[in-house]
Amino acid sequence: MEDQNDAIKYTEITFDYEDFEGKKITKTVKLKRPNIKQFDHALQDMKKNMRRALHLLIDENLAEGDRDWYNQEKEYYPGLSLSIGEKYLLRLGVSPGN
């Protein structure tokens, strides 16, 4: 029988950002597809606070190894959730501008 963790499918999101010294950093993270309840909740929250809604959606669906990195880096780069979230929403079939 297949282990439940092996059955989880992840999508990879690659994005660029600059550190405080101007060095370009390219990072790839793995995110799983959210369930309908998570997705609907995030869409409703985006009307109030886009960054917070994306942060929660990302944090709930990041692969375990990427979660530690994300939680540490988001303190220094508060725009990370927007950078990752924009590409994540496109993968889920939603344009952030809609």
Q: Residue 96: inside a domain, yes or no? A: no
Q: Check residue 45 and give left, alpha or beta (phi > 0: left; psi -120 to 50: alpha).
A: alpha
**What pLDDT sits at residue 1?**
39
Q: Residue 71: inside a domain, yes or no? A: yes
Task: Tell me whether residue 51 is exposed, middle or buried, using C-beta atoms within 10 angstroms of its C-beta: 0 to 12, 13 to 18, 19 or more.
Answer: middle
Q: Residue 39: inside a domain, yes or no? A: yes
pTM for this model (two decimals): 0.78
**What pLDDT sits at residue 34?**
92
**Cβ–Cβ under 8 Å, residues 13 and 84:** yes
Q: Residue 45: inside a domain, yes or no? A: yes
- Domain tally for the chain? 1
Find the CATH number of the domain harbouring 87: 3.30.2220.10
Q: Residue 98: inside a domain, yes or no? A: no
Q: Residue 58: inside a domain, yes or no? A: yes
Domain that holds residue 59: 7-91
**What pLDDT sits at residue 3?**
45
Which parts of the chain have pLDDT scores under 70?
A: 1-7, 95-98
